[in-house]
């Protein structure tokens, strides 16, 4: 039987509070498509769809990786390895999240509903990629890049160049800092046959690959300015975001990963919010 404490364990394990950092991805596509704010109903269902899709992805990841998490000292304290949640309870959370996601997509338009199962399969399936390919970071980036495209489709019901460029920015951004995050698990990944750039090529190379991916992020976000007809305010935000990404890479070094948590969570949270706020401003200024 699911109790309130189980919901608390689940919320902490899937880091539900970090949805605030993920929502700007979808909202970027939304406000660019609407050239401002969409209808309140669209905004509400986009929010529900984004939060439920992210919860599905995180809960599925915890379920799929529960045995690996139990062996890794960094993750052994999670709810499934410690028994605070059962696999059945997490599976139930996945089913409920999927149902909510599909329902929200149905409230938006037919194209969103048709593509929702594909998106759900992708955000669940990426958790398996580290078992067989070093491109697992790219898979995660592409899974998150669905959000801005979804936000755009929710408003317009059709594809366009703008969300594709934005998706490229998000994919390289997320993939780049996932490479940084993987640096802390190099020995564990090697010992258990898991694939990542740092595990295969070393932390120093991993950090260089991450930096290169974030250069692509900066270029894609810059290309978005003329494509989406964004004003000077957007370029100010772009410069701040690029400076923060550069700061992120100064926080971590091959011989010192002690500030990796700050780089991964705090800095990227700020980048997400700044890009959203200044994109919104760029539509008007």
Q: Which of 20-24, 74-78, 168-172, 204-208 has the lowest mean pLDDT?
A: 20-24
Taken in order of first residue, the domains within the chain and their CATH numbers are 4-282 (1.10.357.140)
Q: What is the mean pLDDT of residues 140-152?
A: 94
| 251: enclosing H helix or E strand | helix 232-251
- The confidence score (pLDDT) of residue 284 equals 82
- Average pLDDT taken over every residue of the chain: 91
- The confidence score (pLDDT) of residue 268 equals 80
Torsion angle defined by CA atoms of residues 224, 227, 232 and 234, in that order, rounded to the nearest 10 degrees: -30
Span 169-224, pLDDT tens digits: 999 999 998 999 999 999 999 999 999 999 999 999 999 999 999 999 999 999 99
- The confidence score (pLDDT) of residue 65 equals 95
Round the CA-based radius of gyration of the chain to a whole number and report it. 19
**Distant-in-sequence, close-in-space partners of 134: CB < 8 Å, separation ≥ 6:** 195, 196, 197, 200
Please calculate the CA angle 238-241-244 and round it to the nearest 5 degrees: 150
Residue pair 83/28 in contact by the 8 Å Cβ criterion: no
Report d(CA 204, CA 255) in Å as an integer: 9
Q: Which residues pair with 235 in a beta bridge?
A: none
Q: Which of 77-86, 134-143, 229-238 has the lowest mean pLDDT?
A: 77-86
Residue pair 192/68 in contact by the 8 Å Cβ criterion: yes
Span 88-134, pLDDT tens digits: 999 999 999 999 999 999 999 999 999 999 999 999 999 999 999 99
Sign of CA dihedral 176, 177, 178, 179: positive
- The confidence score (pLDDT) of residue 160 equals 95
Assign 17 a pLDDT band (cuts: 50, 70, 90): low
- The confidence score (pLDDT) of residue 120 equals 97
- The confidence score (pLDDT) of residue 1 equals 47
Residue 230 has pLDDT above 90, yes or no: yes
Assign 262 a pLDDT band (cuts: 50, 70, 90): low
Q: What is the mean pLDDT of residues 222-245?
A: 96
Which tokens belong to 222? 């810059």
- The confidence score (pLDDT) of residue 16 equals 60
- The confidence score (pLDDT) of residue 5 equals 63
Residue 4 has pLDDT above 60, yes or no: no
- The confidence score (pLDDT) of residue 258 equals 82
pTM of the predicted structure, to 2 decimals: 0.91
Q: What is the mean pLDDT of residues 41-49?
A: 96
- The confidence score (pLDDT) of residue 97 equals 95
Residue-level length of the chain: 285
**Distant-in-sequence, close-in-space partners of 109: CB < 8 Å, separation ≥ 6:** 153, 154, 157
Higher pLDDT, 48 or 257: 48
């Amino acid at each position: 039987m699911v109790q309130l404490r189980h919901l608390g364990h689940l919320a902490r394990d899937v880091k539900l509070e970090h949805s605030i950092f993920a929502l700007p991805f979808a909202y970027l596509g939304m406000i660019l498509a609407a050239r401002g704010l969409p209808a309140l109903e669209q905004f509400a269902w986009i929010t529900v769809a984004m939060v439920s899709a992210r919860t599905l992805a995180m809960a599925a990841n915890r379920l799929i990786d529960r045995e690996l998490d139990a062996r890794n000292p960094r993750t052994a304290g999670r709810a499934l390895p410690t028994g605070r949640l059962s696999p059945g309870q997490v599976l139930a959370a996945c089913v409920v999240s999927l149902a909510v996601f599909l329902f929200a997509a149905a409230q938006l338009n037919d194209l969103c509903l048709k593509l929702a199962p594909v998106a759900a399969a992708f955000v669940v399936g990426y958790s398996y990629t580290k078992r067989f390919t070093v491109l697992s970071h790219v898979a995660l980036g592409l899974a998150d890049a669905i959000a801005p495209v979804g936000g755009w489709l929710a408003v317009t019901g059709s594809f366009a160049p703008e969300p594709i460029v934005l998706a490229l920015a998000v994919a390289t951004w997320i993939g780049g800092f996932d490479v940084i995050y993987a640096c802390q698990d190099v020995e564990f990944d090697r010992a258990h046959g898991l694939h990542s750039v740092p595990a295969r090529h070393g932390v120093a190379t991993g950090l260089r690959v991450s930096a290169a991916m974030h250069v692509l992020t900066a270029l894609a976000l810059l290309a978005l300015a003329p494509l989406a007809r964004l004003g000077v305010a957007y370029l100010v935000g772009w410069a701040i975001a690029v400076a923060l990404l550069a700061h992120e890479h100064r926080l971590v070094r091959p011989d010192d990963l002690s500030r990796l948590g700050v780089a991964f969570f705090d800095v990227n949270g700020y980048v997400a919010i700044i890009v959203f706020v200044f994109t919104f401003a760029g539509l008007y200024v």
